[in-house]
Copies of this chain bind each other. A is one copy, B any other.
Amino acid sequence: KGLINYTAKDSTFSVKFAPRIQARFNSNWDYNGEDYDDAELNFLIRRARLKFSGFAYSPKLKYKIELGLSNRDVSGANDFNRNTPRYILDAVIMWNFYENFELWAGQTKLPGNVERVVSSANLQLIDRSLLNSSFNIDRDVGVQLRHFTHLGGDFIMKEKLAISQGEGRNVTEGNEGGLQYTGRLEFLPFGNFKSKGDYSQGDLKREDTPKLMVGLTYDYNQDAVKTRSNLGSYMELEDGSLYETNITTFFADAMFKYKGFAFMGEYANRDADAPVAINADGTETGDIVRVGDAFNTQISYLFQSNYELTTRYTSLKFDNITGREAQNQYTLGASRYIVGHKLKIQADVSYSTLGGEADNIMLRTGFDLHF
């Protein structure tokens, strides 16, 4: 695994280097109320990444550095990161300091919804769902404490706690508002999946016995300053300062796999103490925390030929205060895994509604090459 995968002869360190490309050729037809418009095409290198991982000085001290190079990955320059592109995705060390405990420090994904934490290298459709776009809690800088417990038989429980800055990745100018606190509990009643399959989509390992992971995440972003907790826009006030409100995000999700069949389901809910940003004089700024809830489920079957069919249904409802209409999306996808997730060709077609009306049809094709 990895393009370079090396362990020093004296076992003082190891390194795995894994580049990744994802090319996408998408077509989109918007519904104008009477008819579908002409196709809008979009050919792009969606992701181009370099990942370095391994252990340093002791197998108990692991590290991960992941760099994003595509224009979409690096976008997001603003006053809080010195108006610079954002290459660094992960830069984290993971220290197994005692028995089942690990301490993580640096920038990496928070223990949020399973769909988000699954690497973009291991998706079974062309991209993640709309639930994820609106509700995920992404990456942040801080520390995490991770532990797992054997509950008897194969039953495993995993506990993940994080304290982080609360404004997402690649901030240089310091913390705004309060910190972000995340807790996640995962239950694996039938033991671990093969090859960390709880965090990879599709049952590529064709589990012999049923495997299940059920997870619950509770996230509290104190005095949050962005519209989607640690993501979205900064809520700027007239006087140049930032609007602050406590935002909570809750996820319940599950991954199930058995003999080529895979199910992933997620529920997300976001709430805020005072979701509508207001200036000191009480006038609204126009920024509103994206509060609401959403449901996403996807079911797939992997044929012996390594073709996979996947269906996905996603439903989002936002609180009226947001002025955002409900969205539904129905997706049917096919993947041909040539070398598992490392070399695959994918296509999917989605039909979306907005406020109950037809909105658009999207056809996407792409290939992935990683090592």
Contact = CB atoms under 8 A, between A and B. Distances in A.
A164 to B, nearest CB: 7
A368 to B, nearest CB: 10
Residue among A3, A40, A141, A338 with max Cβ neighbours from chain B (10 Å): A3
Count of chain copies: 3
B23 A106 contact: yes
A52 B19 CA distance: 9
Contact of A40 (B15, B63, B83, B175): B175
B106 A71 contact: no
A19 B6 CA distance: 15
Residue among A63, A81, A369 with max Cβ neighbours from chain B (10 Å): A369
B371 A173 contact: no
Contact of A165 (B43, B83, B105, B106): B43
11 contacts: A13-B371, A23-B93, A23-B105, A41-B165, A43-B141, A43-B175, A44-B174, A63-B369, A71-B172, A75-B83, A85-B85
A88 interface: yes
Interface string A127-161: 00000000000000110000000000000000000
Q: Looking at chain A, what size class is its interface with the partner chain?
A: 35 or more
Residue among A71, A175, A338 with max Cβ neighbours from chain B (10 Å): A71
Contacts of A173: 42
Interface in A172-186: 172-175, 179
Given A41-B175, A43-B142, A15 B23 contact: no
A287 B245 CA distance: 40
Nearest to A72: B172
Contacts of A164: 43
A48 interface: yes
The 8 closest A-B pairs by CB, nearest first: A42-B174, A75-B82, A41-B175, A43-B141, A71-B84, A71-B81, A43-B165, A23-B106
A44 B26 CA distance: 36
